[in-house]
Amino acid sequence: MPTAEVQKIRGLGALRGAFDRSHELLREFVASLNEERLDGVLAYRDSRGKRDERPMWQLMTHVVNHGTHHRAETAMAMTAMGKPMRELDYVYFEIERDRDRVDG
């Protein structure tokens, strides 16, 4: 979803819907990948408009690593506001999600 569209989202329900749709599209994209596509080169423009090319596998690694970076930033900000977050490790997220499915 383009940044301009994300900035128009209002309300928790709309935010959850956009989040769910984003993850659905990401799952579909990942399911479509194979070794050939992962080794293929993707040409793109970065956020400053600079042209670049990278193998898809490098860009997919970047997506995962960048998410980790933002989780750490969020955790630091929340802790600074006196609201420390729970575990950030992905496995704990999945364990908690499994408990939520069973409990509720």
Please write the tens of the pLDDT for every residue from 45-69.
Answer: 988 999 999 999 999 999 888 988 8
Same domain for 78 and 65 = yes
Same domain for 87 and 60 = yes
Burial 12-50 (b: 16+ CB within 10 A, else e): eeeeeeeeeeeeeeeeeeeeeeeeeeeeeeeeeeeeeee
> Range of 23's domain?
1-32
Model-level pTM? Answer: 0.66
Tens of pLDDT, residues 15-24:
889 889 989 9
Q: What whole-number distance in Å separates Cα of residue 50 and Cα of residue 61?
A: 20
Residue 1 has a pLDDT of 67
- Residue 52 φ/ψ, nearest 5 degrees: -155, 170
Same domain for 53 and 17 = no
Domain count, the chain: 2
Same domain for 25 and 76 = no
Same domain for 101 and 66 = yes
